[in-house]
Amino acid sequence: MLRLIALLLFPVAAMAQVQQGPPNASFQPAFAEQTRAKVLNTSRVTVETFASGLDRPWGIATLPGGQFLVTERPGRLRVINADGSVSAPIEGLPAVDARQQGGLLDVAISPNFASDRTVFWTYAKPLPEQKTVTAAARGVLTSDGKMTEVREIFVQDPPSWHPIHYGSRIIPMPDGTVWITTGEHSEPNDRVKAQDNNTTYGKVIRINADGSAPADNPFVGRDGIDTIWSYGHRNIQGAAIGPGGLWTIEHGPAGGDELNKPLAGRNYGWPVISYGVNYGGSPVGSGKAVQDGMEQPVYYWDPVIAPAGMAFYDGPHAAWSGDLLIGSLNPGGVVRIRIRNDRVVGEERLLRDYGRIRDIEVLDDGSVLILSGSRGEVLRVTPR
């Protein structure tokens, strides 16, 4: 099925900002470009169903030769072939805790996959007494579709009773380090651990590919867990390498979704400060959005976009060059933002009719694969 979509809903010249509804909170941004950017020029795209019949897909990674790895939350990892056909589940992965927001989550391949065939993934790990944590593992994918030499490289600590807010993006880097994002399991007794550097709740984690801590991590030799890079995060479900390094995106409560560029050892505020409010309307933490010693987001959304996977566009379509494409779970679709000098200067909402978008992968030919979790499909989107 192929559709040409002209996403022209409002006259661009008459609309200063993206249409998104009234905010939940009454905070003023800390600087002019921090929220509600001007609308970008309307995109024209074609949308094609590339693969279907998946069960709550969550993460996607490109393999050599036109194949892809896709996770399904119940615990299955599959190969999607160049013709869109879907393989049987790959054998050898560990069991997952698939309750609520848990399951098999992100997947990525080694920068040296052509020679080492190493795959990395994250998942909700089941523990005794129905406790749970975010975990990451690696393995070697055989040519006949089995995962071998499986080993854990990260296990969140301490265990939680609450099977939500796992975070869970993973990015292996060419220098042998690996980025992992975590959540704070949401409940009041757990969320405060985002401020506790003796836990790995609500953190950006940086490890070596064997699970050890790089010697230049900010808390090595200081109070705090050596694998922590930054803290004070809520539920980081998007991460990508872009201008200047790692960028992340996390869910706020009612309002306050945040785009951040996490710096070593910095505190990003949750649950002390936020640009949102609790779901019942009460203030978050201090009731403030700004506090000394805590970082400001590069950009925030209120109302939320409920962000998921994201990718910087490095394909040949000049109108999108360098833009960040973000999957949205609510209201759904894709959010395109333009970043200049670490500030957001424009935003566009795309593909709102395609449900909850879990992950995004930019292909060499300039097209983009998006995972629709609610439709169980992989869609190929080509900008025109």
Cβ distance 146 to 169 under 8 Å?
Answer: no
Burial of 173 (0-12, 13-18, 19+ CB in 10 A): middle
Tokens encoding 57: 């897909």
Rounded to whole angstroms, how far apart are CA atoms 86 and 84? 6
> Which of 165, 185, 233, 251 does the annotation list as catalytic?
165
The span from the CA of 346 to the CA of 73, in Å, is 33
Q: Which amino acid is at 158?
A: P
DSSP letter, residue 354: G
Write the burial class of residue 309 (CB in 10 Å: 0-12 exposed, 13-18 middle, 19+ buried): buried
Query: How far apart (Å, rounded) are the C-alpha atoms in residues 197 and 74?
Result: 31
Find the helix or strand (DSSP H, E) in which 268 lies.
none
Q: CA-CA distance, 147 to 302, in Å (whole number)?
A: 42
| Owner of token pair 């550097």 | 197
**Could you confirm whether 251 is annotated as catalytic?**
no
Q: Looking at the annotation, which residues are catalytic?
A: 165
